[in-house]
Amino acid sequence: NKQNCYGHLTSCNISLVSYICNPTVSFRAFLVFNFSCHLTFDPETAHPTLVLLEGPQGAHCGEEPQPYQPHPQRFDSVAQVLCREGQFGGASYWEVEWRGGGWIDIGVTYRGIGRKGGGKPCLLGRNEHSWRLRCSHAGYAAWHDNRKTTVAAPPSPRIGVFLERQKGALSFYSISDSMVLLHTFHCSFSQPLYPAFRLDLDSTLVICPHEGS
Decide if pLDDT at 163 tops 50. yes
Mean pLDDT of the chain: 90
Quote the pLDDT of residue 162.
Answer: 98
Contact assessment for residue 166 and residue 58, using Cβ atoms and an 8 Å cutoff: no
pTM of the model: 0.89
Query: Where exactly are the structural domains of the chain?
Result: 2-207
The band of 14, judged by pLDDT with boundaries at 50, 70 and 90, is: very low
Decide if pLDDT at 203 tops 80. yes
DSSP letter, residue 95: E
Quote the pLDDT of residue 48.
Answer: 98
- How far is it, in rounded angstroms, from Cα 142 to Cα 127? 13
User: Hey, what CATH topology would domain 2-207 get?
Assistant: Jelly Rolls (2.60.120)
Q: Percentage of residues in the chain with pLDDT exceeding 70?
A: 87
Decide if pLDDT at 7 tops 70. no
Contacts of 27 (CB under 8 A, 6+ apart): 2, 5, 6, 19, 179
- How far is it, in rounded angstroms, from Cα 22 to Cα 179? 17
Quote the pLDDT of residue 10.
Answer: 43
| Lowest mean per-residue pLDDT among 20-29, 37-46, 160-169, 192-201 | 20-29
Query: If you average pLDDT over residues 184-190, what whole number do you get?
Result: 96
Query: If you average pLDDT over residues 118-125, what whole number do you get?
Result: 98
Query: If you average pLDDT over residues 27-48, what whole number do you get?
Result: 96
Quote the pLDDT of residue 55.
Answer: 80
- Residue 114 phi/psi, 5° resolution? -60, 150
DSSP letter, residue 102: S
Decide if pLDDT at 111 tops 80. yes
**At 175, which helix (H) or strand (E)?**
strand 169-175
Contacts of 55 (CB under 8 A, 6+ apart): none
Quote the pLDDT of residue 2.
Answer: 45
Decide if pLDDT at 190 tops 90. yes
The band of 89, judged by pLDDT with boundaries at 50, 70 and 90, is: confident
